[in-house]
Amino acid sequence: MKYKERFLAVVTGQIRSREARIHVEKELNYHLKETKKYWMDKGMTEIEAEEKAVKQMGDPQKLGVKMNKLHRPKVDWLLLSLLAAVMALGILPILALDAVAYGEMRDSFLQKKSIFGLAGLALAVGIMFFDYRKLQKWGWAFFLMGTAILYGLRWFPNTFSNGEPKFYLPGLGALDCWAALPFFFLAWAQFFRDKRIKAWKLILLFIYSLYLFLMIPNLSITFIYGMMVMIMLWWSHLSKRIVFSLTAGIFTLGTAGIASLYLLGRQYQIQRVEAFIDPKQYANGAGYMYVQLRERMLEASWFGETVKQVNPIPDLHTDYALVGLTSHFGYAASITVMIVLLLFVIRMGAMTVGVKSQYAKLLVVGAVALFSLQFFYNIAMIFGLVPIISMSLPFISYGGVPTIFNAFLIGVVLSVYRRKQFAVLNEEGCKAK
């Protein structure tokens, strides 16, 4: 056995993690190759140069112990604890439902919510142990999968909800275009790091995929998708000049779309916009929900249930879960929930600082964007700051697909954190993004 092979065998023998062993072996191989080349240029033979390079690395056993401590895969216990806590808090809106009005449905919701929570927790932990780096070569495949889901929903739905096509799966519920978001998220993380994909191709891909979302249509998910791509764009390989121009173009396109909807839209669509601006004028129609949400939040106490309202509010366990939770348990409970969700955003956002790989950083940025957009929009919607659309509160609102989707995002972030100390080397020995 050569000097180098013996040295590497001793070093990697001290390292417990298989991933860390592979990484350390690649890294040391690169350094030994460079040092060996240096001594050969100085006139040494290949064998002498290799022996010299190995000796310069020091005691292999001590080095292996040091590398084992340095490159041990990590677990973000804070993020996992927050996930477990928010899954537990997620049952509160179900408990807040009127037992008489909902009857056995309340118990069914509670059972399913618990199952969704446990499944989401298991999914996040499972993805954490999966090496996210294996996904980066499948960008185009993920884009095609997302496209196929949207086409399937558009042309082959087996159920509809509020005019939106869905695909009902027994035991899982109705799948909508939420199911396509994870695939597009993974696709854009790859596209934005691949310097071979020019700006004009990225523009065409975005316009095409946005058109597919608009075909469904689902305004809330289309909004989230567009914002996700725009935010991830700022961490792409493109120059800041191009990024700024594309961002300005997207904003202009979005503003023009909203303006055209108001000017050319149908009467009920125009009324929705006007009801957001002046809810009381449309209190018995399009402004009803704005007025009722405001009254519920104003009349809520800090602790305990307020006086029962005469006018009912639908979806107190889904889009308006925060309202139901505040009305039943008080502001103390709802503020606790908001703090926990805000800690999610802060913790994931802080992770982008220590991540060196561009692909990993894009994944974290995309996950933060998708999670925080739901969180902040839902809160702003409840307080009447933005128009009402179908937007759930992550992990708190009832629903299997959104819960699994957000658990997937947390799992991806946990996977990045677990391997953030690994500097991936390519065949040439250069650090790969």
pLDDT of 432 reads: 38
**Is the same domain home to 330 and 364?**
yes
Residue pair 70/23 in contact (Cβ under 8 Å)? The answer is no
Q: ∠ CA(248), CA(254), CA(257), 5° rounding?
A: 140
- Identify the pLDDT of residue 303: 80
Q: Which domain holds residue 272?
A: 77-418
Tell me whether residue 165 is in a domain.
yes
State the DSSP string of 100-163: HHHTHHHHHHHHHHHHHHHHHHHHHHHHHHS-GGGGGGGHHHHHHHHHHHHHHHHHS-SEEETT
| Structure tokens belonging to residue 276 | 């957001």
Spatial neighbors of 312 by CB under 8 A, at least 6 apart, are none
- Residue that terminates a domain, selected from 48, 70, 92: 70
Say whether both 22 and 113 belong to one domain. Answer: no
**C-alpha distances out from residue 376 to 38, 180, 342, 387, Å:** 56, 22, 9, 13
Q: What is the average pLDDT value for the chain, to the nearest integer?
A: 83
**Together in a domain, 224 and 289:** yes
Domain shared by 92 and 184, yes or no = yes
Residues 15 and 109 in one domain: no
Which among 321, 289, 297 is positioned nearest to 399, based on CA atoms? 321
Each residue's pLDDT tens digit, 158-202: 877 767 788 877 766 677 888 899 999 999 999 999 989 999 999
Q: What is the C-alpha to C-alpha distance for residues 3 and 18, in angstroms, rounded to an integer?
A: 22
d(CA 26, CA 124): 29
Same domain, 35 and 142: no
Q: Is residue 396 part of a domain?
A: yes
Neighbours of 319 (CB within 10 A): 23
Distance separating alpha carbons of residues 103 and 124, to the nearest angstrom: 32
Query: Treating both helix axes as pointing N-terminal to C-terminal, what angle do 46-56 and 18-41 enclose, rounded to 10 degrees?
Result: 130
Residues 84-107 pLDDT 10s: 999 999 999 888 887 666 777 888
**Do 218 and 357 fall into the same domain?**
yes
CA-to-CA dists, residue 234 to 132, 139, 207, 372, 431, angstroms: 21, 18, 18, 17, 22
Domain shared by 96 and 132, yes or no: yes
- Over residues 62-86, the mean pLDDT reads 82
- Distances 179 to 174, 184, 388 between C-alpha atoms, Å: 10, 10, 22
Strand order in the sheet with 159-161: 159-161, 164-169, 173-175
Say what the pLDDT of residue 87 is: 93
Q: Are residues 30 and 179 in the same domain?
A: no
Say if residue 196 is in the same domain as residue 232: yes
Collect contacts of 27-30 with beta carbons under 8 A, ≥24 apart.
Answer: 27/423, 27/425, 28/57, 29/4, 30/425, 30/429
User: What is the enclosing helix (H) or strand (E) of 165?
Assistant: strand 164-169
Which of these three, 21, 47, 70, is where a domain ends? 70
The pLDDT assigned to 154 comes to: 86
Together in a domain, 211 and 271: yes
Q: Is residue 383 part of a domain?
A: yes
Q: How confident is the model at residue 286 (pLDDT cuts 50, 70, 90)?
A: confident
Residue 315 in any domain: the answer is yes
% of the chain surpassing 70 pLDDT: 89
Tell me, yes or no, whether 384 lies in a domain: yes
Q: What pTM does this model have? A: 0.83
Q: Is 424 inside a domain boundary? A: no
* Amino acid making up residue 164: E
* Shared-domain flag, residues 309 and 277: yes
Residue 432 lies in a domain: no
- Looking at residue 425, its pLDDT comes to 42
Q: How many distinct structural domains can be found in the chain?
A: 2
Largest CA distance in the chain: 93
The predicted model gives 127-144 an average pLDDT of 92
Higher pLDDT, 203 or 427: 203
Is the pLDDT reported for residue 428 higher than 50? no
Has residue 427 been placed in a domain?
Answer: no
* Local structure of residue 171 (DSSP, 8 states): T
**How does pLDDT run across 293-348, given as a tens digit for each residue?**
888 888 888 887 665 555 677 778 888 999 988 988 889 999 999 999 999 999 99
CA 185 – CA 189 distance, rounded (Å)? 6
Q: Domain end: 25, 48, 70, which one?
A: 70
